[in-house]
Amino acid sequence: MRFVEFTQELPYPKTLAECKALYVSRAEEELKGVREFVETSTILSAHMVWPEEPQGRARWIAANLAMAAPNVWDVDDPQRHHNRIVASLAAEAAAGDLKGRWAQMERAALVLRWVFNIAQAPQQFPGGPSISKALALIEYVTGGSSRSQYSAAWTHYRDVAHILAAAMDLAPHSPTPPVDFWRLIQPVMFAPEAVLALGLGYQQFGLALVPHGQRAPILPPETLWRLPASGTSASPQADVLDAPQINFLSQQRRARKRREKN
């Protein structure tokens, strides 16, 4: 098993409403130049973006911590000025890498979100919630988006999908909407404990849900980047499925059986 390890212990918000309120307040503080828990947010965001690439995580962590160091912007100190330039270049390179990854990160988050929506629906669908059912529903809802793209994103980012889904839940509530590639990173950088609380909720959900006919849960127990359970998880809120989505999911098993007979 793998664990995301932090040196700081943060109190987790207990509800989704508390998570949203904390994120909004922190975003407003950021506008004033105030930022808390830099180390925790940097470590968590590094695992989100580079779950299988320790060198990418190390570059991101080193650059962000260097940029946040006291007096790093002191231009009268030649050494600190040099360190700032080096850190800025490293952070810029890491951000460039992030720009090529954000779309896959959002796709992986959406897959887990749709599994959660299906699982929380009052209707009982044939076969129950699963990754394949979520992929089929995404293809239906988006009017033909490439299922292979979402499947590939899930394969690459499933070990951090619980963190990505938590960040996606908070992202729309920012008083200052970020650019696309920063959308999932901003909640982590501003309010990491809110992402941790919601992420723990998704983690517990994904490790407990074993799809029909399978032996393993939807989140892989051995490779998942587990969040510390030192705080209380916050329960995510499912989106209510509309009538066309319910009808589509209800017909999935029957449609597959017809194809198998033919």
Q: What is the pLDDT of residue 151?
A: 95
What is the rounded distance in angstroms from the CA atom of residue 194 to the CA atom of residue 251?
Answer: 37
Q: What is the pLDDT of residues 44-96, one digit of tens each?
A: 999 999 999 999 898 888 888 877 765 544 445 555 544 554 455 455 666 66
Domain boundaries, the chain: 2-261
Q: What is the pLDDT of residues 93-145, one digit of tens each?
A: 666 678 788 999 999 999 999 999 999 999 999 889 999 999 999 999 988 76
Q: Are 162 and 112 in contact, with CB atoms under 8 Å apart?
A: yes
